[in-house]
A and B are shown apart, each in its own frame.
Chain A
Amino acid sequence: MSDIERRALIKGAGLSALAFSVGGAEILLSPRQAHAQNIPFRTLTPEQVETLEALGETLVPGAKQAGISNFVDQQLSIPHGEALLEARILNVRPPYANFYRAALSAVDKASQAKNGDKKFAQLSADERYGFVDLMRQNKIEGWQGPAGPFVYLILRSDAVDVVYGTMEGYAALGIPYMPHIAPEKRW
Chain B
Amino acid sequence: MATLEKVDVVIVGAGASGSLYASVLAKAGKKVVLLEAGPDWQMTDLISSDFWGRRVKPSGVPFLFEGKNPYGYAYQGGWGVGGAALHYFANFPRYLPTDFKVKSEHGKGLDWPINYADIAPYYDKVAAEIGVSGDAKAEEIWRPKGEAYPMPPMKTFRNGQVWLKGLEANGIRMVPAAVGMNSVDFKGRPACIYDGWCHVGCPIGALANPVITYLADARKAGAEVRALSTVTRILTDASGAKVTGVEYYDAKKEKQVQEASVVILAAWAAQNPRLMINSSTDKHPKGLANSSGVLGKYMMAHYASGTWAMFDEDVEPHMGTVGAQYMSYERYDKNSKKAKGAFGSTYIVAGTALKTSDLGGFANARLDLFGPKLAEFMQRAKRGITRLTAFGEEMPNIENRVELADGKDEFGMPLAKIVHSFSDEAIALWNANFDEGIEIAKATGAKEYWSARGPMPTIHLFGGTIMGEGAGTSVTNSYGQTHDIPNLWVAGPGLFPTEGASNPTYTIFAVSQRGAENLVSKWGSVAG
Binding site for B on A (CB under 8 A): 4, 7, 11, 14, 16, 58-62, 80-86, 88-91, 93-94, 129, 132-133, 136, 152-153, 156-157, 160-161, 164-165, 169-170, 173-183, 187
Contacts and interface: CB of A to CB of B under 8 A. Distances in A.
B313 interface: no
Given A80-B60, A160-B361, A164-B356, A88 B196 contact: no
A16 B54 contact: no
B47 interface: yes
A120 B364 CA distance: 24
B204 A170 contact: no
Given A89-B74, A165-B356, A81 B59 contact: yes
A61 B361 CA distance: 18
Contact of B39 (A7, A58, A156): A7
B370 A161 contact: no
Contacts of A80: 59-60
A164 to B, nearest CB: 4
A86 B53 CA distance: 10
Interface residues of B, number: 52
Nearest to B355: A165
Contact of B356 (A11, A156, A169): A169
- Main secondary structure on B side of the interface with A: loop
A152 B252 CA distance: 38
Contacts of A81: 59-60
Contacts of A176: 318
Contacts of A153: 367
Interface in B370-399: 370-372, 374-375, 378-379, 382
A164 B378 contact: yes
A136 B368 contact: yes
B402 to A, nearest CB: 16
B382 A173 contact: yes
Contacts of A61: 371-372, 375
B74 A88 contact: yes
A94 B357 CA distance: 22
25 contacts: A59-B370, A60-B375, A61-B371, A61-B372, A82-B55, A84-B51, A84-B55, A86-B358, A88-B59, A89-B74, A89-B75, A89-B359, A164-B356, A164-B357, A164-B378, A173-B356, A173-B378, A173-B379, A175-B382, A179-B48, A179-B49, A179-B197, A180-B204, A181-B46, A183-B51
Contact of A187 (B45, B49, B252, B367): B49
Given A60-B370, A164-B363, A85 B54 contact: yes
Name which of A58, A85, A136, A179 has the most chain B CB atoms within 10 A of its CB: A179
B74 A180 contact: no
A90 B195 CA distance: 25
Contacts of A11: 39, 42, 45
Contacts of B44: 14, 181
Contacts of A173: 356, 378-379, 382
B249 interface: no
Contacts of A133: 370
Contact of A160 (B49, B72, B357): B357
Contacts of A180: 46, 48, 193, 195, 197, 202-204
Contacts of B48: 177-183
A5 B60 CA distance: 20
B54 A91 contact: no
A133 B374 CA distance: 13
Given A86-B54, A160-B356, A93 B60 contact: yes
Nearest to A173: B382
A164 B382 CA distance: 11
A177 B363 CA distance: 16
Interface in B111-168: none
A178 B39 CA distance: 27
Interface string B56-88: 011111000100000011110000000000000
A83 B39 contact: no
A45 to B, nearest CB: 24
B3 to A, nearest CB: 23
